[in-house]
Amino acid sequence: MKILRFRHDGQVHAGVLTAAGIASVPAINTTHRASFPNDVLELIRAGVQSMPVDGVPVIPYDGVMPLLPYEQPPKIWCIGLNYLSHAEDINAVQPEEPGSFMKPASCLFQPGGDIVLPPPEVSNDVDAEGELGVVIGKTCRFVPAENVRDVIYGYTVTLDLTALDVLRKNPRYLTRAKSIDTFFSFGPVIVTADEITELEALEVITEHNDGICSRDVVGHMRTRPFELVRFHSDFFTLHPGDLISTGCPKGARIKAGDRVGGRIEGVGNITARVTQGTRNPVF
């Protein structure tokens, strides 16, 4: 099942992406006398892996505005330098253990929306990275390797940005370099884990303007998705809706006027426009 959150006729709904269009949760509930929550995060918390869409009237794809699946992920964890090619691109050394860091919800922007570059005096060298995101489906801690599959709800595509010049000043500035407003997005689609039969064969692609910046398969990650979940569950409790963005083969250096995105066949794609921000005090 592929689920998403969208705006249509001034209202926001959760729905299922089908070959014919989008079946909204309210339409599913009306047609099948069901009571599924009209909220993507609540669907994940309830462990809903499928909803009946036969006979449900659908909305055409071009009739909706896709949105972030949910506005406040409980946690956003990202993995740095998980592909050797990315480490080589920025002259860094791959860490032996997952190079993980957190991002705040304040850096989220809507899929298909605008990346607003910071003023040049804040950062003047930004890259964007299309990545595979793992969506946690159950509250869990100390998950054995053989049970990891049971705690993953599904997968999505993420777009992770970095202020490379900030990072070059000092690697301890990583969180700051990654947390600027509009430096992360995900979705708009989440595909349930049962639909992905060959996870390590998925190809992660970063698109830049009219071309492809980088592409590589999940199987080439230094630390693969199941092990990332197991590893991080040793350190803290994972909750439904938590995201682990698993890394990029190589980021695209971006500037105002560009278009950038991430694409994974069978999972989805995410795009963004790049604009230039200014120093506009808000207080």
pLDDT per position as a tens digit, 51-89: 999 999 999 999 999 999 999 999 999 998 898 777 676
d(CA 158, CA 51): 24
Average pLDDT over residues 8-21: 96
d(CA 59, CA 74): 30
H-helix or E-strand containing 252? Answer: strand 252-254
User: Where in the chain are all domains bearing CATH 3.90.850.10?
Assistant: 76-276
C-alpha dist (Å) from residue 163 to 76, 116, 236: 18, 12, 27
pLDDT score for 91 = 67
pTM over 0.75: yes
Percent of the chain with pLDDT over 70: 99
pLDDT score for 81 = 85
pLDDT per position as a tens digit, 223-232: 999 999 999 9
Is 248:85 a contact under the CB 8 Å cutoff? Answer: no
Max CA separation in the chain (angstroms)? 58
Please tell me the CATH superfamily of domain 76-276, with its number: Fumarylacetoacetase-like, C-terminal domain (3.90.850.10)
Choose among 66, 169, 52, 51: nearest CA to 111: 66
Residues contacting 222, CB < 8 A, separation 6+: 81, 82, 83, 84, 94
Sequence letter at residue 86: H
